[in-house]
Structure 1
Amino acid sequence: MPKYLILLAGGPCTGKTYLIHLLQQQFNNSLLLTPDEAKELYADSVGFNSLAEKNALEQKVWHFYYGVLQWYMDAGKKIIISEYPFSDKQKNQLNDFANRYHYQVITIRLVANFDILWQRRYKRDRSLERHLSHIMTHYHYGDELADRNLADDLITKEKFYQICHDRQYDKFALGTLFEMNVDDFSKVNYADLLNKLKKIIT
């Protein structure tokens, strides 16, 4: 039986979460695994008091993520979907797992103009819907901050640009690649992408 690992790649605020919902509707037997979800789980259950503790917790998150991914693959789950601003930091491990457990990898890479991404990132980080742990140097479950402009770990435009440039989110690819420009979400042809995926995933 063919097995598939679908990676939703691309920089922050390219609409990966929205596309996940479409993919799950299309492939209702799929399993979802995302590092950011694990980050929020660990932040709520363990918490952190400094940037050093936050970074140490992130290492645990990746250990958890790869462990669950390997468990899913070892169990032979047919379709696994994962989204993240993937970079070369994750590429070798993902490729190793795919080869070891005989998964066909499909990368959907979402790209957009940097200034557009920055506008979206700025707005998202200040939304009350954004998990507070992402924008604070200290966090424990139950913490609140009504004015997100007061968060002490908000990324600057310069830092955001440097990270995007250094990690080359817009270059990540593994397996079969589909690239979509998401400068304007209203013009993205998601239906065409889903039809192409249906022809591959049997």
Structure 2
Amino acid sequence: MQKYLILLAGCPCTGKTYLITKLQQQFNDSLVITPDEAKVLYAESIGFNSKAEKVALEHKVWHFYYGILALYMDAGKKIIISEYPFSNKQKKQLSQFAQQYHYQVITIRLVADFDVLWQRRYQRDRSSERHLSHIMQHYHYGDKLADRNLADDLVTKEQFYQICHTRKYDQFALGHLIEVDVTDYAKVDYTGLLYQLKNIIHQ
């Protein structure tokens, strides 16, 4: 049985979470695992009091993520889906896992105009749906902030640009690459993308 690791890559705010929902509907027996889920889990259970503690907590996040990913790969889950602004920082470990557990990797790289991404990021960070831990330098379970503009870990446009381009999120590729321009969500052919994936996975 051929097994697949589908990676949704690209800069923040390219619609990776939305696409995961589409993929789950197409491949209803798939497993979804994302580093951001682990970030929220640790923020809620442990919390952090400073930027340094927040960064340190990320080491636990990646240990947890890779541990769970390896367990499901070892168990032979046919389709595993993960989304993140992947970079070369994660490429070596993901590649090693794919080889060790005999998974074919498919990267769906979402790209978009930077100014469009920045507008989406600005609005997302200030939305009440955004978990507060993502935009604060200190967080513990139950913390609230009515005015998200007062968050102390918001990124500026210049910082966002540096993050995206220094880490080369829009260049990440592992295995079979499918690139999709999501500058205008209304023009994205999600049906065609799912059909292309289905042909790869069931060929």
Bucket of the pairwise TM-score, normalised by the shorter protein: over 0.9
Structure 1 partner of 2:57: 57
- TM (norm. structure 2) is 0.99
Q: How does 1:23-38 map to 2 (within 5 A)?
A: 23-38=23-38
1:34-67 CA-to-partner distances (Å, cap 9, x unmatched) read 0001000000000000011100101100000000
Secondary structure of the corresponding residue to residue 6 of structure 1 = strand
- TM (norm. structure 1) is 0.99
Counterpart AA for 2:47: G
Structure 2 partner of 1:193: 193
Q: In 2, Cα distance between the equivalents of 1:166 and 1:98? A: 26
Structure 1 partner of 2:95: 95
Structure 1: which 5+ runs fail to align?
none
1:117-168 CA-to-partner distances (Å, cap 9, x unmatched) read 0000000000000000000000000000010000000001111100111111
Aligned residues: 202
Measured after TM superposition, the shift of residue 200 of structure 1 is 1.1
Measured after TM superposition, the shift of residue 196 of structure 1 is 0.6
Q: Please say if 1:83 is aligned against 2:77.
A: no
Q: In 1, Cα distance between the equivalents of 2:153 and 2:25? A: 35
Q: In 2, Cα distance between the equivalents of 1:18 and 1:160? A: 21
Q: In 2, Cα distance between the equivalents of 1:161 and 1:193? A: 28
Q: Please say if 1:114 is aligned against 2:114.
A: yes
Counterpart AA for 1:142: G
Structure 1 partner of 2:71: 71
Q: In 2, Cα distance between the equivalents of 1:130 and 1:197? A: 30
Structure 2: which 5+ runs fail to align?
none
